[in-house]
Amino acid sequence: MANEVQVFNFEQMNVRTVIIDGEPWFVGKDVAVALGYSNTKDALNRHVDDEDKQGSRFTTSGQSREMTVINESGVYSLIFGSKLPSAKQFKRWVKTEVLPSIRKTGGYQAIPMTLDEKLALALTSEQDTRQRVGALEGKVETIIINHPLNATDYDAVTKAVSDRVHDWARAHRILTKKRGPLFKDLNHQIKQVTGAGNRTRIKSSQYDVVMSFIATWQPSSATVIQVQQMELEV
């Protein structure tokens, strides 16, 4: 059976929602577009955990269609991965306009406008809201801690690695073509510090630690000897 669609509007962009088992789910493509992702399918695959998304068949434009929908946690995952300044505004919109319209009946209702309506909504949903907020805050905190570096921070780390290696090499008069082991050494030490298999897996929460480490990096004794031997080669 197809679920009935409720459409919300964010900055002239439609965001479709459905109620599944009394919980709000958002059409993943709509959320990704609103947050500026050019490849919406890739965004959903990369940023949203499997437990936070599912395929759902519901009616839109008079037709029954199956699309990927994401829950509140999935929405926050896309928000934290977005580069748009309006991502914070989108988060506020979800929290203050969309989610407050959910009543215990499991259906979307118009946002209360009168004082009596607001009080009624507050009284009937306070406990449920507290439970939701508590669960989501824990989930959001986990997302923030474990989220990989964004593109800007990744580029900053890459530049810092290059600058540090070349600075050290110039200070020790190492030719450019002999600097490969130095890059390998620094990248290996970064892996040891972060536990990340490669640079793309460094967590955003580790950014400051990594940048501080790079700034004071020194190659291992073995790497120094290796480079010195390469310098002696004809």
Average pLDDT along the chain, 234 residues, taken 10 residues at a time:
73 86 88 91 92 82 81 91 85 84 50 55 58 65 74 92 95 92 95 89 90 96 92 70
CB atoms within 10 A of CB 9: 11
CB atoms within 10 A of CB 163: 12
Instruction: Determine the residue type at 21.
Output: D
Which pLDDT value is given to residue 221?
94
Rounded distance between C-alpha atoms, residue 10 and residue 93, angstroms: 8
Which pLDDT value is given to residue 122?
59
**171-192 in b/e burial notation, b at 16+ Cβ within 10 A?**
eeebeeebbebbbebbeebbee
CB atoms within 10 A of CB 195: 10
Q: Compute φ and ψ for 78, nearest 5 degrees.
A: -65, -35
Residue 138: exposed, middle, or buried by beta-carbon count in 10 A (0-12, 13-18, 19+)?
Answer: exposed
